[in-house]
Amino acid sequence: MHKKLGSGLNSELRRVEEKEKENMAITLNNGFKMPIIGLGVWRVQGKEIRDLVLNSIKLGYRHFDCAADYKNEAEVGEALKEAFDGGVVKREDLFITTKLWNSDHGHVLEACKDSLKKLQLNYLDLYLVHFPVATRHTGVGTTDSALGDDGVLDIDTSISLETTWHAMEELVSLGLVRSIGISNYDIFLTRDCLAYSKIKPAVNQIETHPYFQRDSLVKFCQKHGVCVTAHTPLGGAAANTEWFGSVSCLDDLVLKGLAEKYKKTAAHIALRWGIQRNTVVIPKTSKLERLKENFQVFDFEITKEDMELIGGMDKKYRTNQPARFWGIDLYA
């Protein structure tokens, strides 16, 4: 009797765990599941990468957001190999994203293979067009900004985004990539991609947070089956303040007040708000305590009234400004 009861209880617990696991992922338009929270590795270099990746996996992270332009794919690859070889996790348990850099729009296949080699992977779960602009080719594997003599980004007008997208589609046919998507595309560019694509973009990764909500773009993408991933979901915090002189939404009195109400942190509130918008969030940190903190967003829910309160915080305030490095504002 007790054995049967114990067996039944264990089965119920397993069902609950599976349900929770299911709720922590979004099903993309091609049927693949993408964990709703991930870890971005931008601005993390050297030996920090190993500890960051291994610690995050042990904490439960299964989604890692990389890019050729982050210049750390090789280090991420070493950490992933260590995790696989040590039996910490299996390849199929992880969702790995990386991105095509601007200067490689005319060399999509070579760029993808270069990223795979550095990451020591046989396939990518998601490959994104990092920015909707092709620039002068500087050699596969090199991602320095292609600036002209005038200090302005050297944009290549001979390569269309449609051409780039069809090359991305070939990667799926070759089995190198499971899903393809776009990044930093507005409504018009996303609409065009949907029109000319044979394989629809599964994801549009954009900056969005309580100070930069982009409700129309989010709604448009979701209406057309394109999952939105929020990069900079915490408004950039100290990192973007340092790089771009921006202000963080985490210091806003509304978020601080809600943090006190829910007995959470302002970061928890911002991330939970993003999740309840049905967007994937990929906060960045190299600190163990923050890694733990950012993952603790599934044990509470923000009320409809408080979601609306956060909705009133929108300042249409972009914190990530590549114009600082490119001499031209692509968002103008």
**Predicted confidence (pLDDT) per residue in 204-233, tens digit:** 999 999 999 999 999 999 999 999 999 999
Residues annotated as binding site for substrate?
A: 130
Distance CA 129, CA 159 (A): 13
Instruction: Give bridge partners of residue 127 from the DSSP assignment.
Output: 98, 180
State in Å, rounded, how far the first CA of the chain is from the last one: 70
**Predicted confidence (pLDDT) per residue in 164-195, tens digit:** 999 999 999 999 999 999 999 999 999 999 99
pTM exceeds 0.75 for this model: yes
Go through the chain and tell me how many residues it has: 332
Distance CA 11, CA 14 (A): 5
Please determine, for residue 4, whether its predicted confidence score (pLDDT) is greater than 50: no
Three-state DSSP string of the chain = CHHHHHHHHHHHHHHHHHHHHHHCEEECCCCCEEECECEECCCCCCCHHHHHHHHHHHHCCCEEECCHHHCCHHHHHHHHHHHHHCCCCCHHHCEEEEEECHHHCCCHHHHHHHHHHHHCCCCEEEEEECCCCCECCCCCCCCCCCECCCCCECECCCCCHHHHHHHHHHHHHCCCEEEEEEECCCHHHHHHHHHHCCCCCCEEEEECECCECCHHHHHHHHHCCCEEEEECCCCCHHHHHHHHCCCCHHHCHHHHHHHHHHCCCHHHHHHHHHHHCCCEECCECCCHHHHHHHCCCCCCCCCHHHHHHHHCCCCCCCCCCCHHHHCCCCCC
CB 80 within 8 A of CB 72: no
Kindly indicate the confidence band of residue 323, based on its pLDDT and cuts at 50, 70 and 90. Answer: confident
Residues annotated as binding site?
A: 130
Rounded to an integer, the average pLDDT of 111-120 is 98
Please determine, for residue 258, whether its predicted confidence score (pLDDT) is greater than 70: yes
| Average pLDDT along the chain | 90
Q: Which residues are the active-site residues?
A: 70
**Predicted confidence (pLDDT) per residue in 75-103, tens digit:** 999 999 999 999 999 999 999 999 999 99
Tell me what pLDDT residue 17 has.
43
Rounded to an integer, the average pLDDT of 286-295 is 88
Distance CA 22, CA 32 (A): 12
Kindly indicate the confidence band of residue 240, based on its pLDDT and cuts at 50, 70 and 90. Answer: low
Rounded to an integer, the average pLDDT of 275-291 is 91
Please determine, for residue 9, whether its predicted confidence score (pLDDT) is greater than 50: no
The percent of residues in the chain predicted with pLDDT above 70, rounded, is: 89
User: Between 248 and 196, where is the model more confident?
Assistant: 196
- Which tokens is 129 given? 């067009």
Tell me what pLDDT residue 37 has.
96
**57: CB partners within 8 A, 6+ apart:** 83, 88, 89, 94
Please determine, for residue 19, whether its predicted confidence score (pLDDT) is greater than 60: no
**Predicted confidence (pLDDT) per residue in 134-155, tens digit:** 999 998 988 777 888 888 999 9
